[in-house]
């Protein structure tokens, strides 16, 4: 049990990578705070799977883009479990479209949820982690943040911003015993990616040396490693999980 007795908050953990991460962390001994914004039923299913691992699960509804919701999420976690050891900023959305057709609202919404949401939750969690002089934070970026992708200017900007944000904050708080890293998944089979056009999927598959798409559990495994004692000397890094797509 690498995470025995630790408390983890995973944003956007009702499904996909977030849900897989919550269950994986629970399997290593962590109690979980499950966050969702719309899909309560799926959040309850994630919580059920966490409890099946013998761990506690607290469900908190909230939009991470809203500063008061983000503050409430972390506050409830600490109120319930008396501490917070791990934060995984996973919540994210897409509003794809070519730049000349992209609505300003679609640009702002993606930046608010993906980038500002990471800022909101990190700022609130770090207040407690600094007092504890201990904490692990993993922020989810994307290979799109490094390589770009037509029709995803808003998404690419938000994910590139997360990498820069993470490195800057790592330099600020590492002396307080807090490790901050970023992971950048490639094409992972989730609800978000399965709606891409078939032609786009085929092109992406052809660009992956491993010749397959990733599973959410493969991303969860890396997150678990990064928040565990095994990765105590890894800090300020961005790790691609993409089958070799971006080398």
Q: Which residues belong to the active site?
A: 155
Closest CA to 98 of 151, 154, 153: 151
* Lookup: tokens for 219: 């991303």
Rounded CA-CA distance 107/94 in Å is 9
Kindly state the tokens that stand for 57.
Answer: 């699960």
Which is nearest to 74 in space by CA: 65, 84, 63? 84
As given in the structure block, the two tokens for residue 15 are 């499904």
- 164 vs 156: CA distance, rounded Å: 13
Place of tokens 């990616």: 193
Sole residue written with tokens 């609505």: 103
CA distance 231 to 211: 28
């Amino acid at each position: 049990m690498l995470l025995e007795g630790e408390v983890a908050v995973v944003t956007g953990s009702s499904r996909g990578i977030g849900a897989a991460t919550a269950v994986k962390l629970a399997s290593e001994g962590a109690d979980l705070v499950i966050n969702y914004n719309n899909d309560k039923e799926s959040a309850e299913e994630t919580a059920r799977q966490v409890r099946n691992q013998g761990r506690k699960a607290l469900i908190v509804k909230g939009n991470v883009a809203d500063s008061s919701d983000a503050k409430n999420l972390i506050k409830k976690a600490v109120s319930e479990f008396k501490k917070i050891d791990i934060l995984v900023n996973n919540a994210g959305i897409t509003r794809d479209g070519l730049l000349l057709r992209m609505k300003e609202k679609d640009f702002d919404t993606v930046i608010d949820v993906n980038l500002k949401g990471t800022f909101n939750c990190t700022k609130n969690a770090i207040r407690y982690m600094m007092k504890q002089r201990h904490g692990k934070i993993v922020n989810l970026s994307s290979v799109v943040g490094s390589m770009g992708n037509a029709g995803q200017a808003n998404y690419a900007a938000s994910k590139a911003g997360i990498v820069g944000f993470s490195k800057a904050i790592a330099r600020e708080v590492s002396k307080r015993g807090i490790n901050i890293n970023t992971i950048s998944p490639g094409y992972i089979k989730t609800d978000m990616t399965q709606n891409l056009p078939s032609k786009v999927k085929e092109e992406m598959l052809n660009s992956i040396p491993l010749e397959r798409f990733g599973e959410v559990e493969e991303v969860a495994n890396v997150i678990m490693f990064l928040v565990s004692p095994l990765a105590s000397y890894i800090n300020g890094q961005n790790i691609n999980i993409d089958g070799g797509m971006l080398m």
